[in-house]
């Protein structure tokens, strides 16, 4: 068995749904696998959705089936076209293509209405006038049965008339709802006469003002699956208690197919919140710059930070698809990001805290183009980097006095290797009136381009550098985790209390290789000895380059 076979076997062992589908196909229970990814367009997708995307589209790909992209747009008060567009872009960016046209729950509103009439005619639904407070009282508790609505025994004719008036806009919002007639004593609260339709006099982003009543998610979801011929409706565990209702609707409606629902554990990551409500609060309160702020766990935020689609897919594929929830250490996600970028990101030099070095024995008017590999994998080719008399190194690489603790630092009388360049030796340094070092005076050790000095006095370390005259000023945005607590939204405290006040800072006086001002948006580089940085997809220009820090070279947490 080769490594690929071992990986596929391991993934199947950690994915009970894939194992089930494999058996069903072998036994002829299903002929073709059809899955769906059904987001509600009330916010941007986050890392948890990435797992669901990879699972649903991945199952379809693995077994030669179809996966639909369907928007469950049954709640127009919280939904926007912006979210629809962002979700479609996220799915494409992750590398997946849906089967056929994009689907919407709103595509089936006429059919849902007809099916609601079917339930009324079969005495399985009724119009209820209870206020929300009264309905809550009638519903009972998990440990106590509910009691029937006084409107539960309305005649079929009365219910049909009232429901038509609901549709016509006769009643005010909240005046009444259409409910399924199931069992108010059921131990499953979802089966206690759930709402099928409610009145919302609000325009819909797809259907405009055609409707003023909208189906509930529970009523729409299973029927959408049936209409689309979905065979495996994969949901997270919180929908397990909804499955009996899902199956009740399918059993009591003249649907053309009978999809089945399967639940798996959702993705939870420490130091992160993925509740759409809480993410929206961060946006609305201006705590972050938007849904795609690079500190956000949204797919668009991770993309803007420089996380690659390949890294996210690899991370999601590494997770077990199990019947229990769990918490994943964010370091596991960061591992896959580093692993992917280490292989794919070209190298470059950037000095984030510049200190000038003047090489006194190098001609002032000379500029030498050094040929430097773009990546340790030489197949990526080379780049040209200008070397001049005056260069910048990082301030942290110089010490006024030598010590064994910092023996690889640049100090007077000691030598250092400039990365992919010459060896230089520090002579002395200059300070300003405040006592800050502003310049190092050094000499170039002759004949050391790519080789050690002939006198046998070798440098103790290597530093990155950028030409003063040919380098370009850039803005660097440094990001850290948004929360200081590993479980910011658990317990009694407000998750806002755990915000990391140092999660974002800007460095304006950064110097980079000149070629970095000629890149395209979203290009990610390894700034040698610093970390991985991406050209901001919106703010980067050749005149004003802006780079976002993706991740450090190693985990220092």
CA 30 to centroid of chain Cα atoms:
33
With H, G, I as helix, E, B as strand and everything else as coil, classify residue 401. coil
DSSP string, 359-373: ETTS-TT-EEEEEEE
What is the total residue count of the chain? 557
Strands (E), 315-380: 326-328, 347-348, 350-351, 354-359, 367-373
Verify whether residue 40 is a known catalytic residue. Answer: yes
Q: Which of 8, 24, 40, 522 is catalytic?
A: 40
- Cα separation, 164 vs 266, whole angstroms: 40
Q: Are 15 and 320 in contact (CB under 8 A)?
A: yes
Give which of 383, 364, 365, 363 is closest to 373, Cα–Cα.
383
With H, G, I as helix, E, B as strand and everything else as coil, classify residue 488. coil
- Cα separation, 35 vs 39, whole angstroms: 13
Strands 546-551 and 531-535: antiparallel
CA distances from 324 to 16, 58, 232, 265, 321 (A): 12, 20, 19, 5, 9
What are φ and ψ of residue 276, in 5° steps? -60, -35
Verify whether residue 92 is a known catalytic residue. Answer: no
Q: Are 77 and 109 in contact (CB under 8 A)?
A: no
Give which of 41, 537, 486 is closest to 300, Cα–Cα.
537
Kindly state the DSSP code that residue 553 receives in the 8-state scheme.
S
Q: Which of 276, 303, 313, 417 is catalytic?
A: 276
- Cα separation, 103 vs 530, whole angstroms: 45
- Cα separation, 545 vs 536, whole angstroms: 8
Q: Are 365 and 548 in contact (CB under 8 A)?
A: no
With H, G, I as helix, E, B as strand and everything else as coil, classify residue 35. strand
Give which of 124, 136, 237 is closest to 189, Cα–Cα.
136
Q: Which of 266, 419, 460, 529 is catalytic?
A: 266
Contacts of 319 (CB under 8 A, 6+ apart): 14, 51, 267, 328
Torsion of the alpha carbons at 348, 350, 356 and 358, rounded to the nearest 10: 0
Give which of 117, 215, 107, 132 is closest to 164, Cα–Cα.
117
Torsion of the alpha carbons at 425, 431, 436 and 437, rounded to the nearest 10: -10
Would you name the residues annotated as active-site residues?
40, 266, 276
């Amino acid at each position: 068995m080769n490594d690929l076979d071992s990986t596929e076997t391991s993934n199947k062992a950690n994915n009970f749904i894939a194992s089930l589908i494999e058996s069903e196909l072998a036994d002829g229970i299903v002929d073709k696998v059809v899955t769906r990814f059904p987001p509600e367009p009330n916010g941007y997708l986050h890392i948890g959705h990435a797992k669901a995307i990879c699972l649903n589209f991945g199952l379809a790909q693995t077994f030669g089936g179809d996966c639909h992209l369907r928007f469950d747009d049954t709640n127009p008060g919280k939904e926007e076209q912006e979210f629809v567009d962002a979700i479609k872009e996220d799915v494409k960016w992750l590398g997946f293509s849906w089967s056929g046209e994009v689907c919407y729950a709103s595509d089936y509103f006429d059919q849902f209405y007809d099916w609601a009439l079917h339930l009324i005619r079969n005495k399985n639904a009724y119009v209820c006038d209870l206020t929300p407070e009264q309905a809550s009282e009638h519903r009972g508790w998990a440990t106590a049965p509910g009691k029937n609505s006084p409107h539960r025994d309305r005649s079929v004719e009365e219910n049909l008339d009232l429901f038509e008036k609901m549709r016509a806009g006769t009643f005010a919002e909240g005046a009444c709802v259409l409910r399924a007639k199931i069992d108010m004593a059921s131990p499953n609260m979802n089966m206690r006469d759930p709402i099928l339709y409610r009145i919302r006099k609000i325009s819909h982003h797809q259907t405009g003002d055609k409707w003023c009543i909208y189906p509930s998610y529970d009523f729409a979801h299973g029927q959408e699956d049936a209409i689309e011929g979905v065979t495996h409706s994969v949901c997270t565990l919180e929908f397990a208690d909804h499955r009996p209702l899902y199956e009740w609707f399918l059993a009591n409606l003249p649907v053309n197919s009978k999809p089945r629902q399967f639940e798996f554990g959702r993705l939870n990551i420490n130091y992160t919140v993925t509740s759409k409500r809480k993410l929206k609060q961060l946006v609305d309160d201006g705590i972050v710059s938007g849904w795609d702020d690079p500190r956000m766990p949204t797919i668009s935020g991770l993309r803007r930070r420089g996380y690659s689609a390949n890294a996210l897919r690899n991370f999601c594929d590494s997770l077990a698809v199990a019947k229990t929830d769990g918490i994943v250490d964010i370091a596991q996600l960061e591992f896959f990001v580093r692993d992917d970028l280490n292989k794919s990101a070209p190298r470059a030099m950037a000095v984030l805290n510049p200190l000038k070095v003047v090489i006194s024995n190098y001609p002032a008017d000379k500029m030498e183009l050094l040929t430097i590999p773009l990546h340790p994998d030489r197949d990526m080719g080379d780049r040209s980097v200008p070397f001049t008399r005056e260069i910048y190194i990082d301030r942290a690489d110089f010490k006024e006095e030598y010590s064994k603790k910092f023996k690889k630092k640049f100090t007077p009388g000691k030598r250092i290797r400039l990365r992919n360049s010459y060896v230089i030796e520090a002579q002395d340094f200059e300070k300003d009136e405040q006592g800050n070092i502003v310049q190092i005076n050094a000499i170039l050790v002759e004949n050391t381009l790519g080789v050690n000095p002939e006198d046998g006095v070798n440098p103790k370390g290597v530093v990155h550098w950028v030409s003063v005259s040919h380098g370009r000023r850039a803005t660097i945005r440094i990001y850290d985790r948004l929360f200081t607590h590993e479980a910011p939204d658990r317990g009694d405290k407000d998750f806002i209390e755990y915000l990391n006040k140092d999660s974002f800072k800007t460095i304006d006086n950064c110097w980079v290789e000149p070629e970095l001002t000629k890149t395209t948006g979203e290009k990610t580089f390894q700034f040698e000895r610093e970390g991985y940085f991406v050209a901001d997809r919106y703010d980067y220009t050749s005149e004003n380059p802006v780079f976002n820090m993706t991740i450090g070279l190693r985990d220092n947490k």
